[in-house]
Amino acid sequence: MSIHIRRGFSYLFSQNPSLLCKSRAPFSLYFSTCIEQQPQTNPVLSDFLVQNYHFRPQAASQIASGLTGLKNPHQKSDLLLTFLKDIGFSVTQMENILKSWPELLSANLDKIIKPKIKIFQEFGFSANEIVEMISKEPSILHSSADKRVIPSLSVLKGLLGSTAEVAKFLRVSGWYLKTDLDKTLVPNMNFLISCGIPTEKIIWLMYYFPRFLLQKPENMEKFVARADQLGANRSSKMFVHSVRAVSSMNNDTWEHKLKAFRDLGFSEEGIVRLFRVEPLLFCISEEKIRKLERFLLATGKYDLSCIVKNPTSLTRSIEKRYEPRFQVLEILERKNLIKNWPSFSALYKMTDNKFFEKFVSPYYNEVGEAYMKKCVLARKKEVDSKPSYICLSNRF
């Protein structure tokens, strides 16, 4: 049994990892080339941006270095910037747009920019929505109106149901307007629906994993076939996440992930069972798995069987959850304020409020400062400790 499972995992992924091109040029040639390619400046344009539109000097210089051939900015550039300002773009937003696309300053306002803005206005977007969307994805402005922008807006309106939802989505994933959705999103959605996945779940994935649904349709079919071979249940609410987990890894990454789970103590049968029940655990980086492994063993209180028995413990933040709590328990034990540490299962599942109430508040003079300091530092490193797959489990 385990031999067949191992072979299945080993040969299931046939994707070739991307090849990295490495330069063989001598260092002296590379050094001289770098010197020759130092960016030139356009002081006339830089001064124009600073004096007329109050750009920051550093930003103006960066933008001007990409337009050394624009000698008279008082023509197209002035008209364009005035237009953007009148629509509602702030100086900072204009700076960011032009730093990513300086050529916009020389674009034809009447033929390229205004028609796109008019499309968004006629579609029903508010001025603020247009500004925010373009600020996040300036390249929308040089996408083809007839081949990309209009067809994509129509597809998204049909799927999401309202202009407000389309605007909300495009503020995060504006590059959907640069893609032929009829060749990617639409066939992928139809195929996944035919596999038994509810439409509302697929639409939810658009918001949180938008690139997953822009796979080539033939690749999506392969990912579903692989998930099927691994025993994922199509009737399970987690099936689509099994497919997404498969799609996120090439063969080498998959094998390294499997080895990490084996090193924790999972059997081959256990790995297959884990994939069926909690597929998004396979999206956790190997680095995090190894880090928790080392961190857990260093306490001398828990062993790797704790993770095998509680695999979702891998989803919790090491910086926000484990480090502050372990530090508190170590201090309390050292000062003979507790006799035993809680079970690992109880420790990782406990809410922050519950942990504080039980282990911090009664001993605040001894551990409060250390705990709070650790939590503050952790929150500077991570934005959110709650893993996305838990949100998915709760919702679906």
Query: Residue 390 falls within a domain, yes or no?
Result: yes
Residue 253 lies in a domain: no
Among 143, 178, 212, residue at a domain's last position: 143
What gap in Å lies between CA 385 and CA 321, rounded to an integer? 8
374 inside domain: yes
pLDDT in the model for residue 106:
83
Could you tell me if residue 310 is inside a domain?
no
Q: Which of the listed residues 117, 143, 169 is the one where a domain comes to its end? A: 143
Domain span including residue 117:
43-143
Tokens 């081949």 belong to 147
Q: How far apart are CA 65 and CA 113, in angstroms?
A: 22
pLDDT of residue 1: 45
DSSP state of 109: I
Calpha distance 68→48 (Å, rounded): 13
3-state SS assignment for residue 237: coil
Instruction: Report residue 388's pLDDT band, with 50, 70 and 90 as the boundaries.
Output: very low
User: Is residue 175 in some structural domain?
Assistant: no
The count of domains in the chain is 2
Q: What is the pLDDT of residue 302?
A: 94
Residue 276 lies in a domain: no
Do 91 and 54 touch, CB atoms closer than 8 A?
Answer: yes
- 112 in a domain, yes or no? yes
CA 92, CA 356: separation in Å to the nearest integer? 42
Q: What tens digit of pLDDT does each residue of 321-354 get? A: 999 999 999 999 999 999 999 999 999 999 999 9
Domain assignment of residue 277, yes or no: no
Q: What is the CATH number of the domain that holds 62?
A: 1.25.70.10
pLDDT in tens, 149-159: 999 999 999 99
Query: Which residues have CB under 8 Å from 132's CB, separation 6+?
Result: 171
Beta strands, E only, 109-195: none
Domain end, chosen from 123, 143, 163, is at 143
Show the tokens assigned to 235: 């009737």
Q: How high is the pLDDT of residue 46? A: 87
User: Tokens 């790797």, residue?
Assistant: 304
Looking at residue 70, what is its pLDDT? 59
- Please tell me which of 11-15, 41-45, 143-147 the model is most confident about, judged by mean pLDDT: 143-147
Global pTM reads: 0.72
Amino acid at 330: E
Mean per-residue pLDDT over the chain, rounded: 84
Mean pLDDT along residues 192-196: 95
pLDDT, tens digit, 9 for 90 and up, residues 248-264 = 888 898 899 999 999 99
